[in-house]
Chains A and B, each alone.
Chain A
Amino acid sequence: MKNNRIGLILVVSSLAVIALVVGLLLKRQQTDQAEQVRAQGLGLVRSLAALPASVLLAQPGQPGVLGSVLAQRENPDFAYAAISGDDGRNLAEVASPGTVVPPAAPLALASFEERAVAPGQNARAVREFRGPLASADARLQLRIGYFEPRTPLDMKDLPFYALIALAVFLLVPLIYIVIKREMAPLAALAEQLKSADTAQAQLVELDAGQDVRDLAGKLNRYLDHTSARIRELEQDSVASMASGRLLEYGSNKMQAVLQCLPDGLLVLDPAGEVTFATGKIEPLLGVPVAEVLSQPSEAWCRDPELRAMLARFRGAGQDARSQMTIEFNPLGVPGKRLWATAQALTGHSMAYGTLVVLRDATREHLARQAGNDFVAHVAHELKSPLNVIGMYGEMLADVGIDDPAVRVEAINVIQDEVERMVSLVNNLLNVSKLEMGSMRPERHRVKLDDLLRDAWQQARSRAEAKNIRLDLQVARELAAVSVDKDMFRIALNNLLNNAIKYNSAGGTVTLSAEEGDSDVVISVRDSGIGMTPEDRERVTEKFFRVRETGDEQRGGHGLGLYLSNQIVELHHGRLTIESELGHGSVFSIHLKKMPALAEGGQVL
């Protein structure tokens, strides 16, 4: 294919060379002829112009020189000769057969010149030489026209041209053979190199001249080096792809881990822009992650405390030990309390920015607040009886008080207040045990009527002291229930104490128990002050106390009913309250009955 092309190119170029040579020769010949005509024409015009017009022009009975000189010329290129006036009229003319003398053009200068006359119809182009007649009064011009030479391919030159063509043509196959011979090893080289772009590059083997062998040797070394390099690069690429995947996997895993953390994370670069944020910051700060990423803290952070901390950590001036924690209420999420810890990220003497961990501290904050409130409340509850005891004590110590009635009163009040404090402290301890989960009911089968009778006996003295009648209405044989005796006694005592405490002198308290189909209902009914429906809803809340009106002090501390309710719930029962303001209340404990006792069961 390639060789064919080379052959074709050689043929075409040899033809072009032949054409060029012939063309140049023809051009040369034509130029020679034109020069010859010009010399002849101009010479003739000059010599004839020097003659007087009378000699040139034919006179009557005597032929003019012009006619006699030119009429017999055998030059085949001769076209015409004429003597013309300025008006274009020909005074004399001699023309070769079939030639029309063209009209004269006015002669501008008194000099000899030539002009080309465009060919007329069926005529040949003519070159005209002309000049003024010397003898005449310059009004006459002598014109001699020669035909422009034809393309002068002479038949006699043909063998010469053919010889040249043959010589050129004979050179072509010679050049072709030489080129082909020189190209052969290169072609083989190219053929072998084609296989070099596959992975396994083979070495080039050639049987050729010294210089091509050198080239092949260099190529071989190059190929050798290249294939080794390619193998290296391929190994590198595989290794880097593997490590890239590993890194990506590691990074994804890390991100998944960070996103799963309950804390919100922010990573800021040293300039203070956020480069990473977990989704948890939205519920914590109330700002979507999209608004935070690639933004400086001024753009998204509304909380002045957090902003101030982030500003402190901006720049590279922090060392790895610098850490700071603040606690604040985020403006974006009302009611939340957050801890934010900032830690400078440094290592290898580089500052990578700041890590900020946001932790929801709402529960801890509320617990702390509740703890503080609890302590304040208990302190107040203890201070009130202490205050009264202290004052009565001081009064008793005062020598000036010697009225026995006052002394008895003081001792009674002190005893009451001590009892109040003991009850408070006991209930506090029980509430604490209950809330710590260390108060677990040890349930045994208990005969309810005995339990109720005990509680009634215990409360009677307190009721009598306040002139309140305490009734017991319990059937002799009540179904057994499964309760923790000690805990249940606390619940009952608190209900009875309340019924007595919030009663008036002359009132009654009735402890009763009724047995239904599936449960037993224990009720404490009083004829006391009662409650509003709002108070009834809240009366089992911890530390809730009904607002007291009137003169009398009840000395409640807001733990008794809370504790009773909790204990009943621990026994899977429920405490219901009916109440009417001014008429009294009924507190009822509903307990599930125990299934029929298996033989040999123990009843406490």
Chain B
Amino acid sequence: MKKSILLVDDEPHVIRVLRLMLEREGYEVASANDGNEALEKMAARRPDVMVSDIQMAGMDGRELCRTVRARYPDDAFPIFVMTSMTASEERAWVRELAQVEFLEKPLSPRQLIARLTTYFANAATQENPHA
């Protein structure tokens, strides 16, 4: 079964490129323009991984992460946050949130794909260690 990725960014070019490349890698991609739209999409279908920008009009990335963790406390799917700042600068607000990782801009789509591949491989090993 295809792994589903939810892309959240208010920059359509970013969504466009990531969608093209992730779909080619065999992921199922949904996208949202801002935090509120992302929550709507999530209510319809929970993604396996969420990739979100931070600076967005409407609900921004930080608020989205907090809302997601509060709304689905038992389903801590990983969130990759794309930031213009360095990861260390963003540590403060993310401290109490589980499974949030950072992708520094400028973002390399291939790097994102590599991170996702690693994550899903690890997750599969943990679920089925003898496979």
Contact = CB atoms under 8 A, between A and B. Distances in A.
Q: Do A and B bind each other?
A: yes
**Interface majority SS (helix, strand, loop, mixed), chain A:** helix
A390 B58 CA distance: 26
B109 A391 contact: yes
B63 interface: no
A451 interface: no
Contacts of A392: 13, 17
B20 A394 contact: no
Interface string B47-83: 0000000010110000000000000000000000000
Given A380-B84, A401-B20, A553-B11, A387 B109 contact: no
B108 A388 contact: no
A395 B20 contact: yes
Contact of A553 (B12, B18, B21, B105): B12
B41 to A, nearest CB: 15
Nearest to B112: A391
A406 interface: yes
A549 B33 CA distance: 10
B67 to A, nearest CB: 20
Contact of A388 (B11, B20, B55): B11
B2 interface: no
Contacts of B13: 388, 391-392, 413, 417, 553
Contact of A386 (B57, B106, B110): B106
Given A392-B13, A553-B10, A547 B105 contact: no
B20 A387 contact: no
B105 A551 contact: no
A390 B18 CA distance: 12
Contact of B106 (A390, A400, A547): A390
A380 B55 contact: yes
Interface in B95-118: 105-110
A395 B57 contact: no
Nearest to A389: B106
A390 B108 contact: yes
Contacts of B24: 400-401
Interface string A277-321: 000000000000000000000000000000000000000000000
B84 A391 contact: no
Interface in B1-33: 10-14, 16-18, 20-21, 24, 33
Interface in A366-400: 379-380, 383-384, 386-392, 394-395, 398, 400
B57 A391 contact: no
Contacts of B12: 551-553
Contacts of B55: 380
Contacts of A553: 10-13
Interface residues of B, number: 22
A398 B110 CA distance: 9
A548 B109 contact: no
Nearest to A555: B11
A415 B110 CA distance: 22
B107 A387 contact: yes
**Max count, chain B CB within 10 A of own CB: residue among A395, A401, A548, A551:** A395
A387 B109 CA distance: 10
A395 B17 contact: yes
A594 B106 CA distance: 51
Nearest to A390: B106
Nearest to A379: B84
Given A388-B14, A401-B20, A395 B106 contact: no
**Max count, chain B CB within 10 A of own CB: residue among A387, A388, A551:** A387
Contacts of B20: 395, 401, 406
A548 B57 contact: yes
A392 B12 CA distance: 12
Contacts of B10: 548, 553
Contacts of A406: 20
Nearest to A395: B17
Contacts of B110: 394, 398
A395 B21 contact: yes
A387 B105 contact: yes
Nearest to A382: B84
Contacts of A395: 17, 20-21, 109
B57 A549 contact: yes
B25 to A, nearest CB: 9
A30 to B, nearest CB: 128
A380 to B, nearest CB: 5
Contacts of A386: 105-106
Contact of A387 (B16, B21, B33, B106): B106
A62 B11 CA distance: 182
A388 B24 CA distance: 19
A398 B107 contact: no
Nearest to B111: A394
Contacts of B107: 387, 390-391
Contacts of A398: 21, 110
Contacts of A383: 84, 105-106
A109 to B, nearest CB: 130
A536 B10 CA distance: 23
B46 to A, nearest CB: 25
B114 to A, nearest CB: 12
Given A394-B109, A395-B21, A395-B109, 20 more contacts: A383-B105, A383-B106, A384-B11, A384-B84, A386-B105, A387-B84, A387-B107, A389-B106, A391-B13, A392-B13, A394-B17, A395-B20, A398-B21, A400-B24, A417-B13, A547-B57, A548-B10, A551-B33, A552-B12, A553-B12
Interface of B: 10-14, 16-18, 20-21, 24, 33, 55, 57-58, 84, 105-110
Interface of A: 379-380, 383-384, 386-392, 394-395, 398, 400-401, 406, 409, 413, 417, 547-549, 551-553
12 contacts: A387-B107, A389-B106, A391-B14, A394-B108, A394-B109, A395-B109, A401-B20, A401-B24, A548-B57, A549-B58, A553-B12, A553-B13
Q: Which 10 A-B pairs have the closest CB atoms?
A: A390-B106, A387-B106, A391-B17, A388-B13, A383-B84, A387-B105, A380-B84, A386-B106, A383-B105, A395-B17
